[in-house]
């Protein structure tokens, strides 16, 4: 008992806080002990609780119920997350549980694929088989779309009309896709187009234009961004890039002359994106015979010479040759053009003169037919205009005043403006045929408002308010800390009288000395008791030790 009192007094002397804690009221000590025990128990339970990880998330109601039933059968503990959208199981059993559920076909994903055809019933009608095939195709397309990292869930609806033997009654199939995108993500135009072509390529006679894509917010994603304005997103991007290239060329050529920041340019391009093909056939009017191209020419000449045969009723008079008829020749015969293969008469050759009369016996009949076919001057042209043809380009350029030697702004001379205008025309590819327009103006730029003082700058004022709030908070926290420290210190370490403190110190020293003396006495008693025990057990050895000590003292 004396030793326990000595030990407690020594501990209290080394740790004065224990004395203060001991002086606290018992309810406070009991409350602190209860809180300590509760904390220890909570930490022990938390450390012994298994770590849970996500098994599946965003499950359908049907799949969730089937999985919960399977987990209960397999005796696997599970829980839900705070939002109720994920199913959690112990971390060490996540992968085993997934494999076991996969062997049971869970989760099914809310959609069926072509495995629906594996359970086809014998004797099913053609209509039922067609419906099952369409359901399987919709499920397979939904699974393919869900393979994209951005898509969380997808549903596909196909409208496939019955095929008809009549061409006029045939209808094109259509499709609609509902996408559930992950939070914080969005589909790009290229991904939307890829989904459209994926669905269109999987259904016969389905085009990408007949595929409608809608997200979970009800926004139509498959419609072009420029619908209603005559241009889609690609066309608007093409026009914007063309305008930017024009502005960049202008700035590149003018910046070295007037300095960076002293010129601003804007371009507006009118681009024709219509697809047009023209086929024209033009016939020119008839040309002169010497300029026309002869396709074919046919000439026919016939000549008949001799006496007229006998005419009239046969008899004596008719067998007698009539008298030669005489008639004056009013118009001399004209020279005939030479026949093919005959030598041409000289230009100075005179026609053969006839006598005053021509006898009927020398009768001459000549006939010439000439047919000439000329080629028709016809022009056939097929023009296919390219898509994205520039119809008109308008450019506006503003050039700042230049600084003279004194630093004063002054306008550019007219000669310099003409040079800059010509340079801009060459840079933009000016064409009068298209009707391009260019307006270059030399004007003084506005330097902007004067700089705002620091004490009036809204950003600096906001920064100053933030710093001031932190400083005030820090000062208040320091003041509360010092106040609490002083209060708790006064409670744990109440002020004592110097005389009482000195008396306590002397008492503590005296108690320490008494404890040391008691310790020495205890040690002496222990050694004496140990020597007595050894003398009782082995007196011969003790006698030898005493004899050795006595011999040393004699020497």
How many Cβ atoms from other residues are within 10 Å of residue 196's Cβ?
Answer: 22
> 117 with 99, same domain?
no
> 547 with 400, same domain?
no
Pairing of strands 151-159, 86-90: unpaired
The answer to whether the CB of 389 falls within 8 A of the CB of 272 is yes
What span, in angstroms and rounded, lies between the C-alpha atoms of 57 and 94? 13
Q: Is the dihedral of CA 420, 423, 424, 425 positive or negative?
A: positive
Give phi and psi for 155, each to the nearest 5: -135, 140
Q: What is the pLDDT of residue 176?
A: 94
Choose among 368, 308, 377, 310: nearest CA to 338: 368
> 58 with 103, same domain?
yes
> 99 with 124, same domain?
no
User: Per the structure, how many domains does the chain have?
Assistant: 4
Q: What is the pLDDT of residue 459?
A: 81
Q: Domain containing 208 — which CATH number?
A: 3.30.300.30
Q: What is the pLDDT of residue 359?
A: 46
Residue 400 lies in a domain: yes
What span, in angstroms and rounded, lies between the C-alpha atoms of 351 and 334? 7
The answer to whether the CB of 6 falls within 8 A of the CB of 518 is yes
Give phi and psi for 125, each to the nearest 5: -75, 165
For every residue of 275-299, DSSP letters joined together read -EEEEEEEEPPP--TTTSPEEEEEE
pLDDT band at 11 (very low <50, low <70, confident <90, very high): low
pLDDT, tens digit, 9 for 90 and up, residues 188-207: 888 998 999 999 999 988 99
- Percentage of the residues of the chain whose pLDDT score is greater than 70: 73
Choose among 246, 245, 248, 224: nearest CA to 236: 224
Q: What is the pLDDT of residue 357?
A: 43
Q: Domain containing 397 — which CATH number?
A: 3.30.300.70
Residue 133 lies in a domain: yes
Residue 245 lies in a domain: yes
- In the predicted structure, residue 83 carries a pLDDT above the cut 90: no
Name the average pLDDT for the chain. 77
* C-alpha count within 13 angstroms, C-beta hemisphere, residue 551: 6
> 207 with 154, same domain?
yes
Using the 3D structure, point to which of 442, 463, 488 is the last residue of a domain.
442
Q: What is the pLDDT of residue 242?
A: 93
> 148 with 68, same domain?
no
395 burial class (0-12, 13-18, 19+ CB within 10 angstroms)? Answer: buried
Q: Domain containing 102 — which CATH number?
A: 3.30.70.1530
- Please give the residue range of the domain that contains residue 542: 513-554
Mean pLDDT of 539-549: 80
- In the predicted structure, residue 351 carries a pLDDT above the cut 60: no
Give phi and psi for 421, each to the nearest 5: -65, -45
- In the predicted structure, residue 181 carries a pLDDT above the cut 50: yes
Q: 341's torsion region: left (phi>0), alpha (psi -120 to 50) or beta?
A: left
Choose among 182, 59, 201, 215: nearest CA to 137: 201
> 100 with 121, same domain?
no
Least confident of 20-24, 273-277, 410-414: 20-24
Residue 390 lies in a domain: yes
Q: What is the pLDDT of residue 211?
A: 93
The answer to whether the CB of 206 falls within 8 A of the CB of 172 is yes
Using the 3D structure, point to which of 90, 109, 128 is the last residue of a domain.
109
Q: What is the pLDDT of residue 135?
A: 85
Residue 283 lies in a domain: no
Give phi and psi for 76, each to the nearest 5: -105, 120
Q: What is the pLDDT of residue 483?
A: 74
Q: What is the pLDDT of residue 302?
A: 80
Residue 447 lies in a domain: no
Residue 404 lies in a domain: yes
> 424 with 545, same domain?
no
For every residue of 33-82, DSSP letters joined together read HHHHHHHHHHHHHHHHSPPEEEEEES--HHHHHHHHHHHHHTT---EE-T
Residue 205 lies in a domain: yes
Q: What is the pLDDT of residue 264?
A: 94
> 217 with 116, same domain?
yes
* H/E segment holding residue 390: strand 389-399
Using the 3D structure, point to which of 92, 109, 126 is the last residue of a domain.
109
Which long-range contacts (C-beta less than 8 Å, at least 24 apart) are formed by 128-134?
A: 134/158, 134/160
pLDDT band at 59 (very low <50, low <70, confident <90, very high): confident
> 103 with 116, same domain?
no
Taking each helix axis from N to C terminus, what angle separates 61-73 and 94-103, rounded to the nearest 10 degrees? Answer: 110
The answer to whether the CB of 299 falls within 8 A of the CB of 327 is no
Residue labelled with tokens 């326990």: 4
> 393 with 249, same domain?
yes
> 130 with 193, same domain?
yes
């Amino acid at each position: 008992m004396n030793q326990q009192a000595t030990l407690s007094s020594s501990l209290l002397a080394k740790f004065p806080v224990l004395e203060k804690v001991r002086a606290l009221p018992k309810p406070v000590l009991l409350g602190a002990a209860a809180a300590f025990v509760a904390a220890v128990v909570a930490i022990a339970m938390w450390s012994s609780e298994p770590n849970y990880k996500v098994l599946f998330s965003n499950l359908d109601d049907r799949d969730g119920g089937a999985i919960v039933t399977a987990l209960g059968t397999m005796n696997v503990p599970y829980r839900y997350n705070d939002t109720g959208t994920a199913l959690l199981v112990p971390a060490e059993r996540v992968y085993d549980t997934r494999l076991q559920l996969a062997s049971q076909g869970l989760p099914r994903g809310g959609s069926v694929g072509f495995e629906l055809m594996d359970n086809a019933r014998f004797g099913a009608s053609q209509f039922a088989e067609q419906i099952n095939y369409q359901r399987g195709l919709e499920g397979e397309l939904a699974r393919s779309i869900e393979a994209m990292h951005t898509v969380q869930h997808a549903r596909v609806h196909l409208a496939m009309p019955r095929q008809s033997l009549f061409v006029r009654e045939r209808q094109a199939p259509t499709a609609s896709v509902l996408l559930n995108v992950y939070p914080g993500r969005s589909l790009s135009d290229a991904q939307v187009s890829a989904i459209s072509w994926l669905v269109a390529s999987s259904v016969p006679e389905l085009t990408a234009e007949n595929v409608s894509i809608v997200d979970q917010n009800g926004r139509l994603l498959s419609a072009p961004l420029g619908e209603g304005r005559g241009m889609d997103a690609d066309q608007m991007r093409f026009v914007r890039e063309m305008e930017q290239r024009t502005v960049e060329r202008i700035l590149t050529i003018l910046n070295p002359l007037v300095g960076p920041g002293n010129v601003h340019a804007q371009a507006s391009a009118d681009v024709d994106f219509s697809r047009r093909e023209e086929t024209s056939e033009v016939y020119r009017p008839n040309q002169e015979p010497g300029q026309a191209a002869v396709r074919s020419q046919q000439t026919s000449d016939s000549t008949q010479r001799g006496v007229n045969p006998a005419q009239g009723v046969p008899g004596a008079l008719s067998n007698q040759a009539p008298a030669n008829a005489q008639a004056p020749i009013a118009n001399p015969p004209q020279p005939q053009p030479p026949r093919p293969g005959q030598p041409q008469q000289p230009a100075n050759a005179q026609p053969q003169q006839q006598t005053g009369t021509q006898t009927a016996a020398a009768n001459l009949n000549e006939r010439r037919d000439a047919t000439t076919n000329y080629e028709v001057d016809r022009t056939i042209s097929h023009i296919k205009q390219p898509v994205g043809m520039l119809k008109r380009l308008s450019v506006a350029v503003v050039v700042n005043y230049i600084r003279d030697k004194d630093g004063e702004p002054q306008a550019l001379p007219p000669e310099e403006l003409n040079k800059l205008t010509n340079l801009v025309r060459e840079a933009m590819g000016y064409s009068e045929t298209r009707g391009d327009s260019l307006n270059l103006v030399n004007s003084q730029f506005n330097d902007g408002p004067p700089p705002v003082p620091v004490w009036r700058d809204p950003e600096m004022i906001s920064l100053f308010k933030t710093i001031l709030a932190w400083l005030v908070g820090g000062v208040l926290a320091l003041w509360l800390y010092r106040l609490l420290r002083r209060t708790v210190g006064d409670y744990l370490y109440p002020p004592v009288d110097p005389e009482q403190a000195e008396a306590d110190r002397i008492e503590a020293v005296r108690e320490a000395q008494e404890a040391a003396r008691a310790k020495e006495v205890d040690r002496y008693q222990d050694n004496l008791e140990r020597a007595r025990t050894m003398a009782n057990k082995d007196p011969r050895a003790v006698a030898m030790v005493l004899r050795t000590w006595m011999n040393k003292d004699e020497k």
